[in-house]
A and B are shown apart, each in its own frame.
Chain A
Protein backbone atom coordinates (compact mmCIF):
# COMPACT_ATOMS: atom_id res chain seq x y z
CA UNK A 1 0.00 0.00 0.00
CA UNK A 2 1.76 3.20 -1.18
CA UNK A 3 1.73 6.63 0.31
CA UNK A 4 -0.53 9.17 -1.34
CA UNK A 5 0.25 12.10 0.91
CA UNK A 6 3.38 12.69 2.94
CA UNK A 7 3.87 15.76 5.10
CA UNK A 8 7.17 16.30 6.88
CA UNK A 9 8.03 19.07 9.33
CA UNK A 10 5.36 21.45 8.04
CA UNK A 11 5.48 24.89 9.60
CA UNK A 12 3.28 27.88 9.00
CA UNK A 13 2.78 31.10 10.92
CA UNK A 14 0.34 33.90 10.22
CA UNK A 15 1.12 37.56 10.69
CA UNK A 16 -1.04 39.15 13.38
CA UNK A 17 0.05 42.76 13.12
CA UNK A 18 3.09 44.90 12.66
CA UNK A 19 4.18 44.89 16.28
CA UNK A 20 2.89 41.48 17.26
CA UNK A 21 4.71 38.20 16.81
CA UNK A 22 3.35 35.86 14.13
CA UNK A 23 0.88 33.24 15.34
CA UNK A 24 2.09 29.73 14.59
CA UNK A 25 -0.62 27.57 12.99
CA UNK A 26 1.54 24.54 12.24
CA UNK A 27 4.62 23.64 14.28
CA UNK A 28 6.41 20.89 12.40
CA UNK A 29 3.48 18.72 11.40
CA UNK A 30 4.16 15.20 10.13
CA UNK A 31 1.45 13.16 8.44
CA UNK A 32 1.18 10.18 6.15
CA UNK A 33 -1.90 9.07 4.25
CA UNK A 34 -1.82 5.66 2.60
CA UNK A 35 -3.44 4.81 -0.70
CA UNK A 36 -7.02 3.59 -0.52
CA UNK A 37 -7.61 4.69 3.06
CA UNK A 38 -10.29 7.00 4.38
CA UNK A 39 -8.20 9.21 6.63
CA UNK A 40 -9.73 11.48 9.27
CA UNK A 41 -8.00 14.69 10.29
CA UNK A 42 -9.26 15.70 13.72
CA UNK A 43 -8.56 18.56 16.02
CA UNK A 44 -10.15 21.34 18.01
CA UNK A 45 -10.84 24.75 16.45
CA UNK A 46 -7.61 26.49 15.50
CA UNK A 47 -5.60 23.27 15.61
CA UNK A 48 -4.30 23.75 12.07
CA UNK A 49 -6.54 21.36 10.10
CA UNK A 50 -7.72 23.84 7.49
CA UNK A 51 -4.24 25.34 7.16
CA UNK A 52 -2.90 21.84 6.50
CA UNK A 53 -5.48 21.25 3.77
CA UNK A 54 -4.77 24.67 2.26
CA UNK A 55 -1.05 23.94 2.13
CA UNK A 56 -1.76 20.63 0.38
CA UNK A 57 -3.91 22.48 -2.17
CA UNK A 58 -1.31 25.23 -2.66
CA UNK A 59 -3.62 27.91 -1.28
CA UNK A 60 -1.20 28.76 1.52
CA UNK A 61 2.59 28.82 1.31
CA UNK A 62 4.33 26.96 4.14
CA UNK A 63 7.24 28.54 6.01
CA UNK A 64 9.08 25.22 6.12
CA UNK A 65 8.55 21.53 5.53
CA UNK A 66 7.81 19.19 2.68
CA UNK A 67 4.46 18.13 1.24
CA UNK A 68 4.41 15.33 -1.31
CA UNK A 69 1.10 14.49 -2.97
CA UNK A 70 0.79 11.47 -5.27
CA UNK A 71 4.55 11.39 -5.58
CA UNK A 72 4.96 15.05 -6.50
CA UNK A 73 5.51 18.31 -4.67
CA UNK A 74 2.24 19.91 -3.58
CA UNK A 75 2.93 23.02 -5.66
CA UNK A 76 3.19 20.94 -8.84
CA UNK A 77 0.09 21.95 -10.83
CA UNK A 78 -0.16 18.64 -12.68
CA UNK A 79 -1.00 16.85 -9.45
CA UNK A 80 -4.16 18.96 -8.99
CA UNK A 81 -5.86 17.19 -11.87
CA UNK A 82 -5.70 14.05 -9.72
CA UNK A 83 -7.12 15.67 -6.58
CA UNK A 84 -10.66 16.69 -5.67
CA UNK A 85 -11.17 19.35 -3.02
CA UNK A 86 -14.20 20.41 -1.05
CA UNK A 87 -13.50 23.55 0.99
CA UNK A 88 -15.28 24.20 4.27
CA UNK A 89 -18.72 25.73 3.64
CA UNK A 90 -18.28 25.97 -0.13
CA UNK A 91 -19.83 28.93 -1.90
CA UNK A 92 -20.46 29.45 -5.58
CA UNK A 93 -21.60 32.13 -7.96
CA UNK A 94 -25.29 31.94 -7.28
CA UNK A 95 -26.43 32.93 -10.76
CA UNK A 96 -25.06 29.63 -12.04
CA UNK A 97 -26.85 26.31 -12.26
CA UNK A 98 -25.17 23.07 -11.12
CA UNK A 99 -24.71 22.09 -14.78
CA UNK A 100 -22.99 25.36 -15.72
CA UNK A 101 -20.91 25.36 -12.57
CA UNK A 102 -19.64 21.83 -13.09
CA UNK A 103 -18.97 22.59 -16.77
CA UNK A 104 -16.88 25.61 -15.74
CA UNK A 105 -14.87 23.64 -13.18
CA UNK A 106 -14.52 20.73 -15.59
CA UNK A 107 -12.99 23.05 -18.18
CA UNK A 108 -10.63 24.47 -15.58
CA UNK A 109 -9.63 20.91 -14.75
CA UNK A 110 -8.79 20.36 -18.42
CA UNK A 111 -11.57 17.80 -18.99
CA UNK A 112 -13.02 17.30 -22.46
CA UNK A 113 -16.57 18.55 -23.12
CA UNK A 114 -17.71 14.99 -23.74
CA UNK A 115 -16.32 13.78 -20.43
CA UNK A 116 -17.86 16.72 -18.59
CA UNK A 117 -21.27 16.02 -20.16
CA UNK A 118 -20.95 12.40 -19.14
CA UNK A 119 -19.95 13.10 -15.52
CA UNK A 120 -22.48 15.82 -14.67
CA UNK A 121 -25.68 13.72 -14.54
CA UNK A 122 -23.87 10.90 -12.78
CA UNK A 123 -22.46 13.16 -10.07
CA UNK A 124 -25.61 15.18 -9.54
CA UNK A 125 -27.59 11.98 -9.14
CA UNK A 126 -24.93 10.68 -6.76
CA UNK A 127 -25.31 13.69 -4.46
CA UNK A 128 -29.10 13.72 -4.78
CA UNK A 129 -29.44 16.77 -7.03
CA UNK A 130 -30.36 14.97 -10.23
CA UNK A 131 -33.68 16.79 -10.52
CA UNK A 132 -32.32 20.34 -10.07
CA UNK A 133 -29.55 20.25 -12.68
CA UNK A 134 -30.71 23.48 -14.30
CA UNK A 135 -31.98 25.36 -11.26
CA UNK A 136 -30.06 28.47 -10.24
CA UNK A 137 -27.92 28.02 -7.13
CA UNK A 138 -29.55 31.06 -5.51
CA UNK A 139 -32.57 28.80 -4.91
CA UNK A 140 -30.46 26.20 -3.12
CA UNK A 141 -30.33 25.59 0.62
CA UNK A 142 -27.01 25.42 2.49
CA UNK A 143 -27.18 21.64 2.45
CA UNK A 144 -27.81 21.57 -1.31
CA UNK A 145 -24.79 23.85 -1.89
CA UNK A 146 -22.74 21.43 0.20
CA UNK A 147 -23.86 18.62 -2.12
CA UNK A 148 -22.88 20.70 -5.16
CA UNK A 149 -19.51 21.17 -3.49
CA UNK A 150 -19.16 17.43 -3.10
CA UNK A 151 -20.06 16.91 -6.77
CA UNK A 152 -17.43 19.39 -7.94
CA UNK A 153 -14.82 17.69 -5.75
CA UNK A 154 -15.49 14.38 -7.51
CA UNK A 155 -15.78 15.84 -11.01
CA UNK A 156 -12.41 14.75 -12.39
CA UNK A 157 -12.50 11.21 -10.91
CA UNK A 158 -9.76 12.09 -8.44
CA UNK A 159 -7.35 9.63 -6.90
CA UNK A 160 -7.25 11.70 -3.71
CA UNK A 161 -10.30 13.50 -2.39
CA UNK A 162 -9.80 16.16 0.28
CA UNK A 163 -12.94 17.11 2.14
CA UNK A 164 -13.10 19.88 4.74
CA UNK A 165 -16.16 19.29 6.93
CA UNK A 166 -18.15 17.43 4.25
CA UNK A 167 -21.25 16.99 6.42
CA UNK A 168 -21.45 20.61 7.51
CA UNK A 169 -24.97 21.95 6.98
CA UNK A 170 -26.41 18.59 6.00
CA UNK A 171 -29.49 17.06 7.59
CA UNK A 172 -29.27 13.49 9.02
CA UNK A 173 -30.34 12.03 5.67
CA UNK A 174 -27.66 14.04 3.89
CA UNK A 175 -25.06 12.83 6.37
CA UNK A 176 -26.01 9.23 5.66
CA UNK A 177 -25.71 9.93 1.93
CA UNK A 178 -22.24 11.43 2.43
CA UNK A 179 -21.25 8.32 4.35
CA UNK A 180 -22.52 6.16 1.49
CA UNK A 181 -20.55 8.25 -1.02
CA UNK A 182 -17.41 7.86 1.08
CA UNK A 183 -18.00 4.10 1.32
CA UNK A 184 -18.36 4.05 -2.48
CA UNK A 185 -15.09 5.93 -2.91
CA UNK A 186 -13.36 3.50 -0.57
CA UNK A 187 -14.66 0.57 -2.65
CA UNK A 188 -13.29 2.23 -5.79
CA UNK A 189 -9.88 2.54 -4.12
CA UNK A 190 -10.01 6.34 -3.92
CA UNK A 191 -8.06 7.83 -1.02
CA UNK A 192 -10.04 10.26 1.11
CA UNK A 193 -8.62 12.83 3.50
CA UNK A 194 -11.41 14.12 5.63
CA UNK A 195 -11.30 16.94 8.14
CA UNK A 196 -14.18 16.97 10.56
CA UNK A 197 -15.35 18.03 13.97
CA UNK A 198 -17.92 15.27 14.03
CA UNK A 199 -16.17 12.46 15.82
CA UNK A 200 -19.01 9.99 15.35
CA UNK A 201 -18.87 10.54 11.58
CA UNK A 202 -15.11 10.01 11.54
CA UNK A 203 -15.38 6.89 13.69
CA UNK A 204 -17.95 5.47 11.28
CA UNK A 205 -16.21 6.13 8.00
CA UNK A 206 -12.47 6.43 8.62
CA UNK A 207 -10.01 3.61 8.98
CA UNK A 208 -7.10 5.83 9.97
CA UNK A 209 -7.02 9.14 11.81
CA UNK A 210 -4.62 11.83 12.96
CA UNK A 211 -5.32 14.23 15.76
CA UNK A 212 -3.82 17.66 15.42
CA UNK A 213 -3.58 19.98 18.37
CA UNK A 214 -1.65 23.21 18.55
CA UNK A 215 -0.27 22.67 15.05
CA UNK A 216 1.25 19.29 15.83
CA UNK A 217 0.26 15.71 15.20
CA UNK A 218 -0.44 14.37 18.70
CA UNK A 219 -1.71 10.94 17.62
CA UNK A 220 -2.13 9.07 14.38
CA UNK A 221 -2.68 5.54 13.17
CA UNK A 222 -5.33 2.94 12.46
CA UNK A 223 -8.55 3.58 14.32
CA UNK A 224 -8.61 0.08 15.86
CA UNK A 225 -5.04 0.39 17.12
CA UNK A 226 -5.55 3.83 18.55
CA UNK A 227 -8.80 3.10 20.31
CA UNK A 228 -7.66 -0.16 21.83
CA UNK A 229 -6.46 0.77 25.31
CA UNK A 230 -3.08 -0.60 26.30
CA UNK A 231 -3.55 -0.32 30.04
CA UNK A 232 -7.22 -1.05 30.58
CA UNK A 233 -9.15 -4.27 30.00
CA UNK A 234 -12.80 -5.15 29.62
CA UNK A 235 -13.94 -8.24 31.54
CA UNK A 236 -17.33 -9.64 30.52
CA UNK A 237 -19.00 -12.04 32.94
CA UNK A 238 -20.54 -15.29 31.69
CA UNK A 239 -23.96 -14.36 32.99
CA UNK A 240 -25.82 -11.98 35.29
CA UNK A 241 -24.30 -11.61 38.72
CA UNK A 242 -26.40 -13.82 41.04
CA UNK A 243 -24.14 -13.61 44.08
CA UNK A 244 -22.99 -10.55 46.01
CA UNK A 245 -20.40 -8.43 44.16
CA UNK A 246 -16.93 -9.53 45.22
CA UNK A 247 -14.52 -7.05 46.76
CA UNK A 248 -12.41 -5.66 43.90
CA UNK A 249 -9.50 -3.20 43.72
CA UNK A 250 -10.61 0.47 43.52
CA UNK A 251 -9.25 0.78 39.99
CA UNK A 252 -11.85 -1.71 38.73
CA UNK A 253 -15.25 -0.30 37.80
CA UNK A 254 -18.57 -1.87 36.88
CA UNK A 255 -20.43 -0.80 33.77
CA UNK A 256 -24.12 0.05 33.96
CA UNK A 257 -25.20 -3.37 32.61
CA UNK A 258 -23.72 -5.06 35.68
CA UNK A 259 -22.01 -7.72 33.52
CA UNK A 260 -18.93 -5.81 32.43
CA UNK A 261 -15.94 -4.68 34.43
CA UNK A 262 -13.22 -2.21 33.39
CA UNK A 263 -9.92 -3.12 34.99
CA UNK A 264 -6.46 -1.58 34.90
CA UNK A 265 -3.68 -3.83 33.61
CA UNK A 266 -1.92 -4.02 36.99
CA UNK A 267 -5.12 -5.22 38.74
CA UNK A 268 -6.27 -7.66 36.08
CA UNK A 269 -4.91 -10.87 37.62
CA UNK A 270 -6.17 -9.92 41.10
CA UNK A 271 -9.63 -9.16 39.75
CA UNK A 272 -9.82 -12.38 37.76
CA UNK A 273 -8.71 -14.38 40.79
CA UNK A 274 -11.35 -12.66 42.96
CA UNK A 275 -14.06 -13.41 40.41
CA UNK A 276 -13.10 -17.07 40.08
CA UNK A 277 -12.80 -17.46 43.87
CA UNK A 278 -16.31 -16.06 44.17
CA UNK A 279 -17.55 -18.61 41.63
CA UNK A 280 -18.31 -16.07 38.94
CA UNK A 281 -17.74 -17.20 35.35
CA UNK A 282 -15.80 -15.01 32.93
CA UNK A 283 -16.81 -15.01 29.27
CA UNK A 284 -14.31 -12.57 27.74
CA UNK A 285 -11.23 -10.59 28.65
CA UNK A 286 -10.07 -8.07 26.04
CA UNK A 287 -8.33 -4.71 25.84
CA UNK A 288 -10.89 -1.99 26.32
CA UNK A 289 -11.86 -0.10 23.14
CA UNK A 290 -12.37 3.59 23.82
CA UNK A 291 -14.77 5.73 21.85
CA UNK A 292 -13.10 8.18 19.52
CA UNK A 293 -14.41 10.99 21.69
CA UNK A 294 -12.66 9.56 24.76
CA UNK A 295 -9.46 9.09 22.82
CA UNK A 296 -9.69 12.56 21.29
CA UNK A 297 -10.13 14.19 24.69
CA UNK A 298 -7.32 12.12 26.19
CA UNK A 299 -4.94 13.50 23.53
CA UNK A 300 -6.17 17.03 23.05
CA UNK A 301 -6.62 18.01 26.70
CA UNK A 302 -3.02 17.29 27.78
CA UNK A 303 -1.69 18.99 24.64
CA UNK A 304 -3.74 22.10 25.39
CA UNK A 305 -2.72 22.11 29.04
CA UNK A 306 0.89 21.89 27.90
CA UNK A 307 0.32 24.91 25.67
CA UNK A 308 -1.29 26.86 28.50
CA UNK A 309 1.77 26.27 30.65
Chain B
Protein backbone atom coordinates (compact mmCIF):
# COMPACT_ATOMS: atom_id res chain seq x y z
CA UNK B 1 0.00 0.00 0.00
CA UNK B 2 2.85 2.35 0.91
CA UNK B 3 4.58 1.65 -2.42
CA UNK B 4 1.32 2.20 -4.28
CA UNK B 5 0.83 5.61 -2.70
CA UNK B 6 4.49 6.53 -3.25
CA UNK B 7 4.22 5.75 -6.96
CA UNK B 8 0.93 7.66 -7.21
CA UNK B 9 2.43 10.63 -5.37
CA UNK B 10 5.35 10.55 -7.82
CA UNK B 11 2.91 10.86 -10.73
CA UNK B 12 1.25 13.87 -9.12
CA UNK B 13 4.62 15.53 -8.58
CA UNK B 14 5.53 14.74 -12.16
CA UNK B 15 2.26 16.20 -13.51
CA UNK B 16 2.88 19.42 -11.61
CA UNK B 17 6.09 19.82 -13.61
CA UNK B 18 4.45 19.29 -16.99
CA UNK B 19 3.46 22.22 -19.13
CA UNK B 20 0.55 20.28 -20.66
CA UNK B 21 -1.14 20.08 -17.25
CA UNK B 22 -1.06 23.82 -16.71
CA UNK B 23 -1.90 24.60 -20.34
CA UNK B 24 -5.04 22.45 -20.27
CA UNK B 25 -6.11 23.73 -16.88
CA UNK B 26 -5.53 27.39 -17.72
CA UNK B 27 -7.17 27.09 -21.12
CA UNK B 28 -10.30 25.51 -19.62
CA UNK B 29 -10.62 27.95 -16.74
CA UNK B 30 -10.19 30.95 -19.05
CA UNK B 31 -12.80 29.56 -21.46
CA UNK B 32 -15.26 29.00 -18.58
CA UNK B 33 -14.85 32.64 -17.59
CA UNK B 34 -15.50 33.62 -21.23
CA UNK B 35 -18.80 31.70 -21.42
CA UNK B 36 -20.89 34.92 -20.90
CA UNK B 37 -19.66 36.03 -24.32
CA UNK B 38 -21.79 33.31 -25.92
CA UNK B 39 -24.90 34.55 -27.82
CA UNK B 40 -27.42 35.83 -25.29
CA UNK B 41 -30.73 34.18 -24.55
CA UNK B 42 -33.39 34.62 -21.91
CA UNK B 43 -31.98 34.81 -18.39
CA UNK B 44 -33.16 31.35 -17.29
CA UNK B 45 -31.85 29.70 -20.45
CA UNK B 46 -28.64 31.70 -20.20
CA UNK B 47 -27.86 30.08 -16.85
CA UNK B 48 -28.51 26.61 -18.29
CA UNK B 49 -26.35 27.35 -21.33
CA UNK B 50 -23.55 28.70 -19.17
CA UNK B 51 -23.66 25.58 -16.98
CA UNK B 52 -23.71 23.30 -20.01
CA UNK B 53 -20.84 25.12 -21.69
CA UNK B 54 -18.77 25.09 -18.51
CA UNK B 55 -19.38 21.37 -17.98
CA UNK B 56 -18.61 20.67 -21.62
CA UNK B 57 -15.30 22.48 -21.31
CA UNK B 58 -14.51 20.60 -18.11
CA UNK B 59 -15.26 17.32 -19.91
CA UNK B 60 -12.89 18.13 -22.77
CA UNK B 61 -10.15 19.16 -20.34
CA UNK B 62 -10.63 16.05 -18.21
CA UNK B 63 -10.56 13.66 -21.15
CA UNK B 64 -7.51 15.26 -22.71
CA UNK B 65 -5.70 15.36 -19.39
CA UNK B 66 -6.54 11.75 -18.50
CA UNK B 67 -5.62 10.41 -21.91
CA UNK B 68 -2.43 12.43 -22.40
CA UNK B 69 -1.08 11.75 -18.91
CA UNK B 70 -1.95 8.05 -19.00
CA UNK B 71 -0.56 7.68 -22.53
CA UNK B 72 2.77 9.28 -21.78
CA UNK B 73 3.79 8.03 -18.34
CA UNK B 74 4.89 4.45 -19.07
CA UNK B 75 6.37 5.06 -22.56
CA UNK B 76 8.21 8.09 -21.13
CA UNK B 77 9.65 6.12 -18.24
CA UNK B 78 10.57 3.18 -20.46
CA UNK B 79 12.16 5.48 -23.04
CA UNK B 80 14.17 7.41 -20.46
CA UNK B 81 14.85 4.17 -18.55
CA UNK B 82 13.88 5.79 -15.23
CA UNK B 83 11.63 2.77 -14.80
CA UNK B 84 14.71 0.63 -14.05
CA UNK B 85 15.49 2.67 -10.95
CA UNK B 86 11.97 2.22 -9.61
CA UNK B 87 11.45 -1.44 -10.51
CA UNK B 88 14.78 -2.46 -9.03
CA UNK B 89 13.15 -1.75 -5.63
CA UNK B 90 10.81 -4.22 -3.96
CA UNK B 91 7.87 -2.87 -5.96
CA UNK B 92 5.80 -5.31 -8.00
CA UNK B 93 4.96 -4.34 -11.54
CA UNK B 94 1.25 -4.57 -10.85
CA UNK B 95 1.60 -2.16 -7.93
CA UNK B 96 3.70 0.14 -10.07
CA UNK B 97 1.15 0.13 -12.88
CA UNK B 98 -1.74 0.65 -10.50
CA UNK B 99 0.13 3.41 -8.69
CA UNK B 100 0.72 5.24 -11.95
CA UNK B 101 -2.96 5.01 -12.86
CA UNK B 102 -4.02 6.13 -9.39
CA UNK B 103 -1.66 9.09 -9.73
CA UNK B 104 -3.27 10.07 -13.03
CA UNK B 105 -6.73 9.80 -11.45
CA UNK B 106 -5.62 11.89 -8.47
CA UNK B 107 -4.35 14.61 -10.82
CA UNK B 108 -7.62 14.43 -12.73
CA UNK B 109 -9.65 14.68 -9.53
CA UNK B 110 -7.63 17.69 -8.38
CA UNK B 111 -8.12 19.42 -11.74
CA UNK B 112 -11.87 18.74 -11.65
CA UNK B 113 -12.20 20.03 -8.09
CA UNK B 114 -10.49 23.23 -9.20
CA UNK B 115 -12.89 23.40 -12.15
CA UNK B 116 -15.81 22.92 -9.79
CA UNK B 117 -14.71 25.79 -7.59
CA UNK B 118 -14.24 28.06 -10.60
CA UNK B 119 -17.65 27.10 -12.04
CA UNK B 120 -19.33 27.72 -8.65
CA UNK B 121 -17.64 31.10 -8.31
CA UNK B 122 -18.44 32.02 -11.89
CA UNK B 123 -22.13 31.09 -11.63
CA UNK B 124 -22.44 32.88 -8.30
CA UNK B 125 -20.79 36.01 -9.64
CA UNK B 126 -22.64 36.13 -12.95
CA UNK B 127 -26.09 34.74 -12.11
CA UNK B 128 -26.20 35.04 -8.31
CA UNK B 129 -26.98 31.30 -8.04
CA UNK B 130 -25.33 28.56 -6.08
CA UNK B 131 -25.10 25.39 -8.19
CA UNK B 132 -23.64 22.59 -6.08
CA UNK B 133 -25.45 20.10 -8.34
CA UNK B 134 -22.76 20.56 -11.00
CA UNK B 135 -20.62 18.33 -8.79
CA UNK B 136 -22.66 15.35 -9.98
CA UNK B 137 -21.78 16.05 -13.61
CA UNK B 138 -18.13 16.62 -12.71
CA UNK B 139 -18.15 13.32 -10.83
CA UNK B 140 -19.39 11.41 -13.89
CA UNK B 141 -16.83 13.29 -16.00
CA UNK B 142 -14.24 11.92 -13.59
CA UNK B 143 -15.67 8.41 -13.99
CA UNK B 144 -15.46 8.64 -17.76
CA UNK B 145 -11.94 10.07 -17.46
CA UNK B 146 -11.01 7.07 -15.32
CA UNK B 147 -12.24 4.63 -17.99
CA UNK B 148 -10.39 6.54 -20.72
CA UNK B 149 -7.21 6.72 -18.62
CA UNK B 150 -7.32 2.96 -18.03
CA UNK B 151 -7.69 2.35 -21.79
CA UNK B 152 -4.93 4.80 -22.63
CA UNK B 153 -2.59 3.26 -20.08
CA UNK B 154 -3.30 -0.25 -21.35
CA UNK B 155 -2.39 0.88 -24.86
CA UNK B 156 0.74 2.61 -23.56
CA UNK B 157 2.28 -0.68 -22.45
CA UNK B 158 3.05 -1.39 -26.11
CA UNK B 159 2.53 1.83 -28.05
CA UNK B 160 3.93 5.34 -27.99
CA UNK B 161 1.95 8.30 -26.63
CA UNK B 162 0.60 9.49 -30.00
CA UNK B 163 -0.78 6.08 -30.97
CA UNK B 164 -2.29 5.71 -27.49
CA UNK B 165 -4.06 9.06 -27.75
CA UNK B 166 -5.41 8.13 -31.18
CA UNK B 167 -6.55 4.68 -30.05
CA UNK B 168 -8.24 6.10 -26.97
CA UNK B 169 -9.87 8.79 -29.11
CA UNK B 170 -11.28 6.07 -31.36
CA UNK B 171 -12.46 4.16 -28.29
CA UNK B 172 -14.14 7.32 -26.99
CA UNK B 173 -16.00 7.92 -30.26
CA UNK B 174 -17.12 4.31 -30.68
CA UNK B 175 -18.28 4.10 -27.05
CA UNK B 176 -20.31 7.27 -27.44
CA UNK B 177 -22.04 6.17 -30.62
CA UNK B 178 -22.56 2.54 -29.67
CA UNK B 179 -26.09 3.05 -28.33
CA UNK B 180 -27.18 4.50 -31.64
CA UNK B 181 -24.89 3.62 -34.51
CA UNK B 182 -23.65 0.22 -33.33
CA UNK B 183 -27.11 -0.86 -32.24
CA UNK B 184 -28.60 0.04 -35.62
CA UNK B 185 -25.74 -1.68 -37.45
CA UNK B 186 -26.31 -4.78 -35.36
CA UNK B 187 -30.07 -5.05 -35.85
CA UNK B 188 -30.23 -3.94 -39.48
CA UNK B 189 -30.80 -7.21 -41.38
CA UNK B 190 -29.74 -5.59 -44.66
CA UNK B 191 -26.14 -5.34 -43.38
CA UNK B 192 -23.69 -8.18 -44.15
CA UNK B 193 -23.48 -10.82 -41.43
CA UNK B 194 -19.84 -10.06 -40.59
CA UNK B 195 -20.59 -6.36 -40.08
CA UNK B 196 -23.60 -7.18 -37.91
CA UNK B 197 -21.48 -9.62 -35.92
CA UNK B 198 -18.71 -7.07 -35.37
CA UNK B 199 -21.21 -4.35 -34.44
CA UNK B 200 -22.92 -6.75 -32.05
CA UNK B 201 -19.62 -7.79 -30.47
CA UNK B 202 -18.57 -4.17 -29.95
CA UNK B 203 -22.05 -3.24 -28.75
CA UNK B 204 -22.00 -5.81 -25.98
CA UNK B 205 -18.30 -5.59 -25.06
CA UNK B 206 -17.65 -1.85 -25.03
CA UNK B 207 -19.03 0.45 -22.35
CA UNK B 208 -21.72 2.92 -23.25
CA UNK B 209 -19.90 6.11 -22.32
CA UNK B 210 -22.89 8.20 -23.33
CA UNK B 211 -24.55 6.77 -20.24
CA UNK B 212 -21.95 8.64 -18.14
CA UNK B 213 -22.76 11.95 -19.77
CA UNK B 214 -25.22 13.77 -17.50
CA UNK B 215 -23.98 17.27 -18.34
CA UNK B 216 -27.17 18.30 -20.07
CA UNK B 217 -29.44 16.95 -17.34
CA UNK B 218 -27.46 18.72 -14.62
CA UNK B 219 -27.06 21.92 -16.66
CA UNK B 220 -30.82 22.18 -17.00
CA UNK B 221 -31.32 21.84 -13.29
CA UNK B 222 -32.46 18.20 -13.40
CA UNK B 223 -35.95 19.42 -14.19
CA UNK B 224 -36.82 16.42 -16.39
CA UNK B 225 -34.71 13.71 -14.87
CA UNK B 226 -33.25 13.78 -11.40
CA UNK B 227 -29.83 12.22 -10.88
CA UNK B 228 -30.14 10.57 -7.49
CA UNK B 229 -27.71 8.64 -5.36
CA UNK B 230 -28.85 5.31 -6.83
CA UNK B 231 -28.15 6.53 -10.36
CA UNK B 232 -24.70 7.83 -9.38
CA UNK B 233 -23.93 4.55 -7.66
CA UNK B 234 -24.95 2.63 -10.78
CA UNK B 235 -22.78 4.83 -12.99
CA UNK B 236 -19.88 4.44 -10.55
CA UNK B 237 -20.28 0.68 -10.67
CA UNK B 238 -20.33 0.73 -14.47
CA UNK B 239 -17.19 2.88 -14.71
CA UNK B 240 -15.32 0.97 -12.00
CA UNK B 241 -16.10 -2.36 -13.66
CA UNK B 242 -14.83 -1.28 -17.08
CA UNK B 243 -11.81 0.57 -15.66
CA UNK B 244 -10.99 -2.53 -13.57
CA UNK B 245 -11.17 -4.80 -16.63
CA UNK B 246 -8.88 -2.56 -18.70
CA UNK B 247 -6.53 -2.06 -15.76
CA UNK B 248 -6.42 -5.78 -15.07
CA UNK B 249 -5.49 -6.51 -18.69
CA UNK B 250 -2.92 -3.70 -18.58
CA UNK B 251 -1.30 -5.05 -15.41
CA UNK B 252 -1.17 -8.56 -16.86
CA UNK B 253 0.48 -7.37 -20.07
CA UNK B 254 2.86 -5.00 -18.28
CA UNK B 255 4.01 -7.72 -15.89
CA UNK B 256 5.09 -9.85 -18.84
CA UNK B 257 6.78 -7.13 -20.82
CA UNK B 258 10.56 -7.08 -21.24
CA UNK B 259 11.87 -3.68 -20.26
Contact = CB atoms under 8 A, between A and B. Distances in A.
B89 A59 contact: no
A110 interface: yes
B85 A61 contact: no
Nearest to A152: B85
A164 B127 CA distance: 64
A254 interface: no
B16 to A, nearest CB: 9
A59 B85 contact: no
| Highest count of chain B CB atoms <10 Å: which of A87, A107, A108, A109 | A108
A80 B82 CA distance: 17
A149 B85 CA distance: 9
A25 to B, nearest CB: 10
A105 B89 contact: yes
Given A87-B85, A95-B17, A108 B259 contact: no
Contact of A108 (B17, B81, B91, B256): B91
A229 interface: no
Contact of A87 (B2, B10, B14, B81): B81
Q: How many interface residues does chain B have, given as a range?
A: 20 to 34
Interface string B74-104: 0000001110111111111000000000000
Interface in A55-83: 57-61, 77-81, 83
B82 A91 contact: yes
B199 interface: no
A152 B2 CA distance: 19
Q: How many interface residues does chain A have, given as a range?
A: 20 to 34
A35 interface: no
A110 B90 contact: yes
Contacts, number: 72
| Highest count of chain A CB atoms <10 Å: which of B7, B84, B259 | B84
A61 B89 CA distance: 17
B95 to A, nearest CB: 9
B87 A14 contact: no
Contacts of B87: 57-59
Contact of B89 (A54, A92, A108): A108
B92 to A, nearest CB: 6
B256 to A, nearest CB: 7
Contact of A91 (B2, B14, B81): B81
A110 B3 contact: yes
Contacts of A149: 85
A60 B258 contact: yes
Contacts of B85: 85, 87, 90, 92, 105, 149, 152
B191 interface: no
A91 B85 CA distance: 9
Contacts of B91: 77, 80, 108
Interface in A17-54: 54
Contact of A80 (B10, B17, B90): B90
Contacts of B88: 57, 59, 80, 83-85, 87
A104 to B, nearest CB: 6
Contacts of A85: 84-85, 88
A59 B87 CA distance: 8
Nearest to A94: B17
A-B pairs with lowest CB-CB distance, top 7: A85-B88, A108-B89, A87-B84, A80-B90, A95-B17, A107-B6, A59-B259
Given A110-B3, A149-B85, 11 more contacts: A57-B84, A58-B87, A59-B88, A80-B90, A81-B89, A81-B90, A83-B88, A85-B88, A89-B81, A93-B14, A110-B2
19 contacts: A59-B84, A59-B87, A59-B88, A59-B258, A60-B258, A78-B90, A79-B90, A80-B88, A85-B88, A87-B81, A89-B81, A91-B81, A93-B17, A105-B89, A107-B6, A108-B7, A108-B86, A108-B89, A110-B3
Interface of B: 2-3, 6-7, 10, 14, 17, 80-82, 84-92, 256, 258-259
